[in-house]
Amino acid sequence: MNNLKDKKMGSMIPEFLLISCVLFFFLNNVYAGVTSTFIRSEWPSVDIPLDNEVFVKPNGHNAPEQVHITQGDYDGKAMIIIWVTPDEPGSNQVKYGTSENKYDFTAEGTVKTYTFYNYTSGYIHVCHVENLEYDTKYYYEIGEGDSARQFWFQTPPKIDPNASYKFGIIGDLGQTFNSLSTLEHYIQSGAQTVLHVGDLSYADRYKYDDMGVRWDSYGRFVEKISAYQPWIWTTGNHEIEYMPYMNEVVPFKQYLYRYPTPYTASKSSNPLWYAIRRASAHIIVLSSYSPFVKYTPQWEWLKEEFTKVDRKQTPWLIVIMHSPIYNSNSAHYMEGESMRVAFESWFVQYKVDVVFAGHVHAYERSYRISNIHYNITGGVSYPVPDKSAPVYITVGDGGNQEGLASRFNDPQPDYSAFREASYGHSTLEIMNKTHAFYHWNRNDDGKKVATDSFVLHNQYWNKSLRRRKLKKNYLHNIVPTLELNQL
Ligand SMILES: [Fe+2]
């Protein structure tokens, strides 16, 4: 009898081993991310010719062009309006009000020009419009006489933990037909403010006077969006424009003339890094190409800014930068490592919800991971799951002339949840203080197709919900193509 039992047990051992192996394989692989094999259509990565209608100049003598707006204060009650007049300075005034064609208020701006090699810019006007009401549509007019032009924008709701708001995220845009496709998809998204993660015009791909010309064309290219809703812009490497061969050695010169920021409102000493609060979000903008190691102004500022974040007022803590600190693409691999070393422990300490970056011309999303226990002698050097860490999202796929970064490192690291080399943009729709819908749209798809989507649970307000919803979140993470209505 015992012999029979032993024999039976013996025959079960291979079965047990097989089942164990299958289970082991399954358990290990459910953590693996997805490298999409989508085959995409793609226009050539060349800039749209200057005589194309997307760059058309407005009619009229000295008509304002390249109109773009950004938040003008810390909390969203001010706007900075920027435009260029080509022929002469003209008026610095913005007329504005809450009724169409009826402007009860005026604000006076300033005007400047600059030279870059032999190029001289148009007259760049910058006007701060302040003391706006929250949640209000404002109409505004710039320019004079027959050349005057009218636009509008909507102010955000007042700072409130449950204020809903929809941000769009665009990176590495440029001015190609792929860039145009991104803009057209973005317009359909219903997002209210653009978070631009750097590399705007790619004018630095040109030489001499053509660089300034391509900054101008880019300004006209994006105006159909940038005149109507604020863009929160970040510097990328293509904004540096350190060009000794032209005797142009002041970094960010053209960018800084054209893209002012409300940096003083967050006590920053430099327009390249700053913070704003908008609706229920606290947004921190970092400069990947300015000093950030310990004791530098950016480091000191960020240390202070994190202490000002009040998750009871602004539950959503979002960081935007250009160079991603988690990136498994061979393009720009490890370039964000020095910033990771400088800032990652704060991201975890302050429970940042999400970090958006660009630079890599592809899309990638991480799980919540950190590598803060690494030190140079400890031997621990691999990112590990960390529920206090942000989700890292690279969305440098706006469509510039450098083309897609299609070579991902193989195998896909455990921390990488989803990656694909396609053009597109993201949206983050904050619903209330506890959750937001995140959505990545591939340009090849219709506007409602979520190539990657998930519910982002707030890091501060979801502590008690976390355990209960763990299983559901886990599913969202491993099924990136899940439609929102299925969540
Ligand atoms: Fe870049």
- The domain spans of the chain are 156-198+272-486
Q: Does the structure show a pLDDT above 80 at 87?
A: yes
According to the model, what pLDDT value does residue 470 have? 46
**Averaged pLDDT score across all residues of the chain:** 90
According to the model, what pLDDT value does residue 427 have? 97
Find the 359 Cα to ligand 1 centroid distance in Å: 4
According to the model, what pLDDT value does residue 68 have? 98
According to the model, what pLDDT value does residue 202 have? 98
According to the model, what pLDDT value does residue 465 have? 55
According to the model, what pLDDT value does residue 39 have? 73
According to the model, what pLDDT value does residue 447 have? 65
Find the 486 Cα to ligand 1 centroid distance in Å: 35
Is residue 332 part of the annotated active site? The answer reads yes
Sort 276 into a burial class: Cβ within 10 Å, 0-12 / 13-18 / 19+: buried
**How do residues 330-381 score in pLDDT, each as one tens digit?**
999 999 999 999 999 999 999 999 999 999 999 999 999 999 987 777 677 7
Q: Does the structure show a pLDDT above 50 at 478?
A: no
Q: Does the structure show a pLDDT above 80 at 416?
A: yes
Find the 240 Cα to ligand 1 centroid distance in Å: 10
Are the beta carbons of 280 and 163 closer than 8 angstroms? Answer: yes
Find the 363 Cα to ligand 1 centroid distance in Å: 14
Q: Which of 332, 359, 361, 476 is catalytic?
A: 332
Q: In the chain, what percentage of residues exceed pLDDT 90?
A: 82
Per CATH, is 156-198+272-486 categorized as 3.60.21.10?
yes
Find the 378 Cα to ligand 1 centroid distance in Å: 32
Find the 288 Cα to ligand 1 centroid distance in Å: 10
Name residue 417's beta-bridge partners.
none
Find the 322 Cα to ligand 1 centroid distance in Å: 7
Find the 4 Cα to ligand 1 centroid distance in Å: 70
Q: Does the structure show a pLDDT above 70 at 479?
A: no
Rounded distance between C-alpha atoms, residue 104 and residue 101, angstroms: 10
Full 3-state SS string of the chain: CHHHHHHHHHHHHHHHHHHHHHHHHHHHHCCCCEECCCCCCCCCCCECCCCCHHHCCCCCCCCCEEEEEEECCCCCCCEEEEEEECCCCCCCEEEEECECCECCEEEECEEECCEECCEECCEEEEEEECCCCCCCEEEEEECCHHHCEEEEEECCCCCCCCCCEEEEEECCCCCEHHHHHHHHHHHCCCCCEEEECCCCCCHHHCCCHHHHHHHHHHHHHHHHHHCCCCEEECCCHHHCCCEHHHCECCCCHHHHHHCCCCHHHHCCCCCCCEEEEECCEEEEECCCCCCCCCCCHHHHHHHHHHHHCCCCCCCEEEEECCCCCCCCECCCCCCCHHHHHHHHHHHHHCCCCEEEECCCCCEEEECCEECCCCCCCCCCCCCEECCCCCEEEEECCCCCCCCCCCCECCCCCCCEEEEECCCEEEEEEECCCCEEEEEEEECCCCCCCCCEEEEEECCCCCHHHHHHHHHHHHHHHHCCCCCHHHC
